[in-house]
Amino acid sequence: MAIKRMDNVGIVVDDLGGAIDFFRELGLEFEGRATIEGEWAGRVTGLGDQRVEIAMMRTPDGHSRLELSRFLAPPVVADHRNAPVNALGYLRVMFTVDDIDETLARLRSRGAQLVGEVVRYEDAYRLCYIRGPGGLLIGLAQELG
């Protein structure tokens, strides 16, 4: 049996409302918000008695989603937000945007900071990394041509 699709990418945040606002500003659509708790949830994650607030965000094309999670219990145990781009493990999510300069201008009003520079990759893309809410690493790509 083959994989049907990738359902979502999960990101743990400390300010769920701020993250929702940031990703809305980027262009994702808010699907909903809920609190997940109970014995079944702890069995899935291996965390035992957990309580987590989640928000689902969808890309405008409807094909990709982000699950933003704020853990109420148990407390967060590790922080990878300051890891450099070459750190091992899951690190960032990248979005294709219409206009990278306009997107950067909008996201800077929400606290985004450019990590390096906006660069051109051949005649195909303009690319950059930004730090978003809570230091999340996010890639932006603008297709050229």
pLDDT in tens, 7-34: 899 999 999 999 999 999 999 999 999 9
Structurally, the chain folds into a number of domains equal to 2
Which pLDDT belongs to residue 4?
78
Looking up residue 105, the CATH number of its domain turns out to be 3.10.180.10
Q: Is residue 4 part of a domain?
A: no
CB distance 143 to 123 below 8 Å: no
Q: Are 14 and 45 contained in the same domain?
A: yes
> Residue 42 belongs to what H/E stretch?
helix 39-45
Q: Are 104 and 67 contained in the same domain?
A: no
Pick the residue with more confidence: 79 or 118?
Answer: 118
pLDDT exceeds 80 at position 91: no
pLDDT exceeds 90 at position 55: yes
Q: Are 58 and 108 contained in the same domain?
A: no
pLDDT in tens, 99-138: 999 999 999 999 999 999 999 999 999 999 999 988 888 9
Which domain does 116 fall in, by range? 93-143
Q: Is residue 80 part of a domain?
A: no
- pTM of the full predicted structure? 0.89
Q: Is residue 2 part of a domain?
A: no
Per-residue pLDDT averaged across 54-62, rounded? 96
For 113, residues 6+ apart whose C-beta sits below 8 A from its C-beta are 130, 131
